[in-house]
Structure 1
């Protein structure tokens, strides 16, 4: 299992919440940060999660694909942020 998904599940984040988080990520990455903060993940685990993403951004793509979402939407959203 993807380490991002594993950390979320470790903190009893439901599959529905995980799917909603990654759906938000594919549509609006900035809003995804707000969703993450509402999940109630302890600060130390949240830092661990962010560290994983910073060290290996490909984990996001793996998680998105594991959830059956369209990663090209993440790329589109990222391109919009750069404009």
Structure 2
């Protein structure tokens, strides 16, 4: 299991919430950040999660693919934000 998904599940984040988070990530990465803030993760767990993503951004792609979503949409959303 992807370590990002595992960390979320360890902190009682439901599969539905995880799916919503990553679905939002594929559409609007900035909105996904707002959802992460609303999950109620303890600050130390949130810091750990962000550290994992910053050290290994490929984990996001792996998590998106593990959930059966299309990572190319994340890339497209990032390009839209640059404009």
Question: What range describes the TM-score normalised by the shorter chain of this pair?
Answer: over 0.9
Q: Summarize the alignment of residues 1-83 of structure 1 with structure 2, pairs less than 5 Å apart.
A: 1-83=1-83
Please provide the CA RMSD for this pair: 0.5
Q: What runs of 5+ residues in structure 1 fail to find an aligned partner?
A: none
TM-score (norm 1): 0.98
1: CA distance between counterparts of 2:5 and 2:22? Answer: 10
CA distance in structure 1 between the partners assigned to 2:19 and 2:57 by the alignment: 18
Unmatched runs of 5 consecutive residues or more in structure 2: none
Distance 1:78 1:50 in 2: 18
Normalised to the residue count of structure 2, the TM-score between the two structures is: 0.98
Instruction: Give the ranges of 4+ consecutive aligned residues of structure 1 lying more than 2 Å apart after TM superposition.
Output: none
